[in-house]
Structure 1
Amino acid sequence: MRGGVAQGFSIEEISIAFGSVYESASEVLAGLNEIKISQFCKTHGINGHYICASDEFASDLCLRAISGLSSASVAGAECLVVATHTPDFLAPATSNLVHRALGLDERVVCFDLQLFCSGFVKALFMANLLLDKFKSVLLCCVSTKSKSLDPDNLAQKASISDSASALIIRRKECEIKPSFSELSLSELACVETAPFGGYNKMVANDYVSLDNSSFFNEVFDKFPPFFKDFTGSLGAYFSDDTPCFFHLPSEFFASRLKGTLGLSDNQCVSLSLKKYANTDINNIPLNLALYVKNHASIKPKSTALLASYGTGISLNSLFCEIEFSKIKASILAEK
């Protein structure tokens, strides 16, 4: 299996923020009868979601998430990376808008990454690579996907939350070097997600249009062997005690994935859906934050496996050391 190995890093802080508008699933699905609403909530494992107000955008959520980090860590970051597929504008870059609002030093390097559901794992690994040149990176992942959904597709609308994560990543010597691998199934690039946005108006849709059946079938066909190969390459480093953080868009998906991979409920960390719905690119960082906050007796040092899949279709996995007990985690929500 081809992949990448890089120097060690530490996640020092994680902060999660959400759109300012909370809606219960019953409110969003008000046109359906109670039985269908109950079935939807059970299948997706959610009670409600957070979406942005009409005047709230990606840079706003980034700034809200960053407000949960220590001011000294933010001011000391030498590089600012924003990963999103829902920027405020095509130009200027969202990272420059955030940099301006924060009043960061002019020498801070800023850039955006166009990434989707599978973006956090890739962005984290790329931030790790940047630590070869910088002492610390401020990484933000943000999705305001609700703004790009068909308002008539109530099921899709009800299942998604707008969110942002902000992390402080620092260079660190680790006994076990981070290992990353990705599988790009680009033959489905315009099938699983129909073209949307950009300059090619001849084929682009007005709203995000997903072929969920195509995505589901391809992921469950290709991800299990990819996961087996990746974990096999780790040898004894990966065990039944290794916590796994997956991009889990629904309870049905989570249950099917755990069964297919043969993972226990304890090993597969899924803490966010009921309260926060599908947070898209932020499912994994949100579960990392919840794991830190909900586990009082976390081992001082541990390894973890992070894995995701999304538009592209891209599958990826990252195995790394994480000192959970030293992470400062904040979750900023209205409800």
Structure 2
Amino acid sequence: MAARIAAVSYHLPAATLSNADLAAEFPEWSVEKIGAKTGIVNRHVAADDEFASDLAVAAAQRLFDEHGIDPNSIDYVLLCTQSPDYYMPTTAVLVQERLGLRTSVGATDITLGCSGYVYALGLAKGLIESGQVRNVLVLTTDTYTRFVNPRDKSVRTLFGDGASASLVTDDGGADALGSFVYGSDGSGGGQLVVPNGGLKGSEAYPAASPEARGFESNGYDLYMDGPGIFNFTLEIVPKSVDAVLAKAGLQQDEVDLWVFHQANAFMLEHLRKKLGVPSEHFVVAMGESGNTVSSTIPIALVEAERAGQLTRGMKVMILGFGVGLSWAGAVLEW
């Protein structure tokens, strides 16, 4: 048995927040400055009555329609989100029912952010190659914009809402999804955190409180220590790349395409230069979606294929990093 990504699709909400919209609210930041700093032109924003399950269902339906996939072939739903509809029940179960999938399928959530897609692929691979199931529907979905304080331009310029759907299947061929490397460091939990809205409260992360930042709370108040996350990323990503290459038995120039978590263009350009990857082999695809957290890598894969940058048979390095702190990398054959 060997797991492979057979198909990927994604869905974005209809409403958008443009750089012009943001510049009108924050006159000290021009349209040009926002674009240069983030690499983002538009972010999609979920409506008030639109939640993680809605985005996931739309992405899954698009996957089924675009790739001719029979929903009855799905054996397991693995859904990654940090903005679930409810504390309980799990969002994956709600999605299973709404998609009309068999009640004999497994369905579970995993709670991860920027590294979540890679973690989910690793779990899907384990389910398939241990003989438990044949086809896993991997969903990533988040509505991070709900967490963002409207006065916090440092994160409001970055995050957008969205969802992706991937079919991971056993195709009986050679291993096309592997060499997984994982990492986590909870000591950095306060670097990217939603301090309010959970059961524990914000006492553990006083720097993240809206009062400390001069905001009136919106009930969630997502906080990001930008310099801390940037420094963490520049340290951990090259080490992770080396670890994945070593595990895969590859040299760097044997990787055809590099698809990292689409945090922001400034960070990605630093990483590309630090690693010495030619720009034509490095994907930047967040301009019309923003940082959609666990959905950025699958969105980038779809966009790279549409642009002709990604073609069948390519070896692709994927790497997610961020909130947690958490990171994960792997090599896939497209």
Structure 2 equivalent of residue 159 of structure 1: 158
Provide the rounded CA distance (Å) in 1 between the counterparts of 2:250 and 2:109.
Answer: 36
In the TM superposition, what is the alpha-carbon distance from 1:215 to its structure 2 partner? Answer: 1.0
The 5-angstrom pairing of residues 300-311 of structure 1 reads: 300-311=312-323
Structure 1 equivalent of residue 13 of structure 2: 19
Structure 2 segments unaligned to the other structure (5+ residues): 210-219
1:276 aligns with 2:289: yes
Letter in 2 for 1:266: E
Letter in 1 for 2:82: H
Structure 1 equivalent of residue 212 of structure 2: none
In the TM superposition, what is the alpha-carbon distance from 1:319 to its structure 2 partner? Answer: 1.3
Q: Relative to 1, partners in 2 of residues 1:128 and 1:256: Cα closer, same or farther, differing over 3 Å?
A: same
Cα-to-partner distance string for 1:78-125 (whole Å, 9 max, x where unaligned) = 101110000011111101111111121110111111111111111111
Which secondary structure does the structure 1 equivalent of 2:249 belong to?
helix
1:193 aligns with 2:190: no
Letter in 2 for 1:91: M
Contact 2:38 2:265 in 1 (8 A): yes
Provide the rounded CA distance (Å) in 1 between the counterparts of 2:46 and 2:177.
Answer: 38
Contact 1:184 1:315 in 2 (8 A): yes
Provide the rounded CA distance (Å) in 1 between the counterparts of 2:40 and 2:85.
Answer: 28
Cα-to-partner distance string for 1:208-238 (whole Å, 9 max, x where unaligned) = 2111111111221232233223323433465
Provide the aligned length of Structure 1 versus Structure 2.
314
Contact 1:12 1:170 in 2 (8 A): yes
Contact 2:3 2:170 in 1 (8 A): yes
The 5-angstrom pairing of residues 206-217 of structure 1 reads: 206-217=220-231
Greater CA drift, 30-39 or 287-296: 30-39
Cα-to-partner distance string for 1:211-270 (whole Å, 9 max, x where unaligned) = 111111122123223322332343346525421110121111111110111111112111
Residue in structure 2 matching 1:38, options 32, 36, 56: 32
Which secondary structure does the structure 2 equivalent of 1:165 belong to?
strand
Structure 1 equivalent of residue 234 of structure 2: 220
* TM-score of the pair, normalised by structure 1: 0.87
Structure 1 equivalent of residue 47 of structure 2: 53
Contact 2:56 2:165 in 1 (8 A): yes
Contact 1:48 1:158 in 2 (8 A): no
Structure 2 equivalent of residue 95 of structure 1: 92
Contact 1:305 1:317 in 2 (8 A): yes
Q: Relative to 1, partners in 2 of residues 1:24 and 1:118: Cα closer, same or farther, differing over 3 Å?
A: same
Q: Relative to 1, partners in 2 of residues 1:234 and 1:100: Cα closer, same or farther, differing over 3 Å?
A: closer
Provide the rounded CA distance (Å) in 2 between the counterparts of 1:27 and 1:177.
Answer: 41
Which secondary structure does the structure 1 equivalent of 2:63 belong to?
coil
Letter in 2 for 1:200: K
Which secondary structure does the structure 2 equivalent of 1:88 belong to?
coil
Provide the rounded CA distance (Å) in 1 between the counterparts of 2:315 and 2:202.
Answer: 47
The 5-angstrom pairing of residues 250-261 of structure 1 reads: 250-261=264-275
Residue in structure 1 matching 2:120, options 118, 123, 128: 123
Which secondary structure does the structure 2 equivalent of 1:281 belong to?
helix
Structure 2 equivalent of residue 170 of structure 1: 169
Provide the rounded CA distance (Å) in 1 between the counterparts of 2:179 and 2:255.
Answer: 18
Q: Relative to 1, partners in 2 of residues 1:130 and 1:24: Cα closer, same or farther, differing over 3 Å?
A: same
Structure 1 segments unaligned to the other structure (5+ residues): 1-6, 323-335
Contact 1:16 1:166 in 2 (8 A): yes
Q: Relative to 1, partners in 2 of residues 1:188 and 1:166: Cα closer, same or farther, differing over 3 Å?
A: same
In the TM superposition, what is the alpha-carbon distance from 1:40 to its structure 2 partner? Answer: 1.3
Which secondary structure does the structure 2 equivalent of 1:183 belong to?
strand
Contact 2:81 2:141 in 1 (8 A): yes
Which secondary structure does the structure 2 equivalent of 1:214 belong to?
helix
* TM-score of the pair, normalised by structure 2: 0.87
Which secondary structure does the structure 2 equivalent of 1:29 belong to?
helix
Contact 2:116 2:294 in 1 (8 A): yes
Contact 1:46 1:273 in 2 (8 A): yes
Structure 2 equivalent of residue 331 of structure 1: none
Contact 1:125 1:180 in 2 (8 A): yes
Provide the rounded CA distance (Å) in 2 between the counterparts of 1:44 and 1:150.
Answer: 18
Contact 1:174 1:321 in 2 (8 A): no
Structure 2 equivalent of residue 287 of structure 1: 300
Letter in 2 for 1:50: H
In the TM superposition, what is the alpha-carbon distance from 1:193 to its structure 2 partner? Answer: 3.0
Contact 1:29 1:155 in 2 (8 A): no
Letter in 1 for 2:224: L
In the TM superposition, what is the alpha-carbon distance from 1:175 to its structure 2 partner? Answer: 5.0
Letter in 2 for 1:125: G
- Cα RMSD of the aligned pairs, angstroms, is 2.1
